[in-house]
Structure 1
Amino acid sequence: MLYTENRQNKLEVTEQFINKITEVCNFVLKEEEVLCEYQISLLFVDNNEIREINKETRNIDRETDVLSFPMLDFDYKKVFKDMYVNYVFDETYKDGDELVLGDMVLSLEKAMEQSVEYGHSYEREVSYLVVHSILHLLGYDHIDEDDKKIMRKREEEILNKLRIRR
């Protein structure tokens, strides 16, 4: 289940918008073979708030587009690709039947700015950032170049399957 909270007032957050993001979340997790019930919290903020959160949590004093806070530390390839999820994660990692994957913080203001900068739709940018963030929750990263290539390729594969194009 996706839990959302809107803490910004620069862009409208409609039920249709939330439904689209939920659809993207469900699709990403299905593609990554997360076949159990899940829990993700998504906080919508503006550039000022994401800058503060970035400064507090990562000691980086600048705005960013999305932040991911995984609740689990695991090798996503082993856990989900081998489908050991019910054996690896006991009630310590669950809220009821839902596997708690973590939290995402998304600056809708930054997403709008980037959609203009990159010349694609706001929906595409938000969808990309959600895909990107969920992959982080699942253990993907882009610190070194090899991992970055893997993550970028996976993002594009998922967005293409969703028919969300640049």
Structure 2
Amino acid sequence: MTVTLEWSNEQDQVELKPEWTSRLDELLKIAARMEGVAGGEVTLTFVDDEEIRRLNREFRGIDKATDVLSFAMNESVEDEPEIVYGDEEDYEYDGAEEAEGGRAEFVEPLGDIVISVPRAIAQAEEYGHSVEREIGFLFVHGFLHLLGYDHGDEQSEREMFAKQEAVLVQAGLARN
């Protein structure tokens, strides 16, 4: 099994050039390997500031635009209804991978990452590095959130940012 990246660019915020898709796929594979994640699917969506503000307000109760949001599939909500699956013969596995013996293997969704492209562009200018590095940074940051990392205190922030930087350096996107 492998870690895969799915794209959504409904607002046409960025032209999805092959070099972008391969770079973000590479970042995902490096981060997954470093974190011991053997398989799963991450969905990445590029939006504008208005849409990310709406999502931030709706899901976090914060009425302002932000640069990246992560929605982990492994988080549970109190009183969340249990999802019950029927017999596996009843399913056609969308996005399934071929397992040994020719059977389809379900690819577990890890979660969704949403990046504001205008915010990423502005931050790249502010920090004096490329937009590619900024989007890569935000993507890896979002991925680590999907895995449960947070930066609510100084120690957690140091740990998370060190992990992000290690991934970016390995991918050739070191800070200037």
Shorter-chain TM-score bucket reads 0.7 to 0.9
Superposed CA deviations along residues 95-130 of structure 1, whole A, max 9, x for unmatched, are 743232111111111111110010000110011011
Counterpart Cα distance in 1 of 2:48 and 2:11: 5
Secondary structure of the 1:104 match is strand
Of 3, 14, 22, the residue aligned with 1:11 is 14
User: TM-score scaled by structure 1?
Assistant: 0.81
User: TM-score scaled by structure 2?
Assistant: 0.77
- How many pairs are equivalent? 146
State yes or no: 1:121 paired with 2:130: yes
Match of residue 149 from structure 2: 140
Asked if structure 2 preserves the Cα contact closer than 8 Å seen for 1:11 and 1:109, the reply is no
Counterpart Cα distance in 1 of 2:167 and 2:29: 11
Secondary structure of the 1:101 match is strand
Counterpart Cα distance in 1 of 2:158 and 2:19: 32
Identity %: 40
Secondary structure of the 1:150 match is helix
Larger Rg: 2
Match of residue 130 from structure 1: 139
5 Å-filtered alignment, 1:80-95, equals none
Secondary structure of the 1:142 match is coil
State yes or no: 1:55 paired with 2:57: yes
Counterpart Cα distance in 1 of 2:36 and 2:6: 21
Superposed CA deviations along residues 58-106 of structure 1, whole A, max 9, x for unmatched, are 01111111000111149xxxxxxxxxxxxxxxx9xxx743232111111
**Displacement of 1:16:** 2.5
Of 30, 42, 49, the residue aligned with 1:40 is 42
Match of residue 21 from structure 1: 24
Which stretches in structure 2 are left out of the alignment for 5+ residues?
77-87, 89-95, 97-104
State yes or no: 1:151 paired with 2:153: no
Secondary structure of the 1:98 match is coil
**Displacement of 1:33:** 1.2
**Displacement of 1:10:** 4.3
Match of residue 110 from structure 1: 119
- The alpha-carbon distance between structure 1 residues 117 and 39, as it changes in their structure 2 partners (threshold 3 A), is same
Asked if structure 1 preserves the Cα contact closer than 8 Å seen for 2:14 and 2:46, the reply is no
Asked if structure 2 preserves the Cα contact closer than 8 Å seen for 1:2 and 1:42, the reply is yes
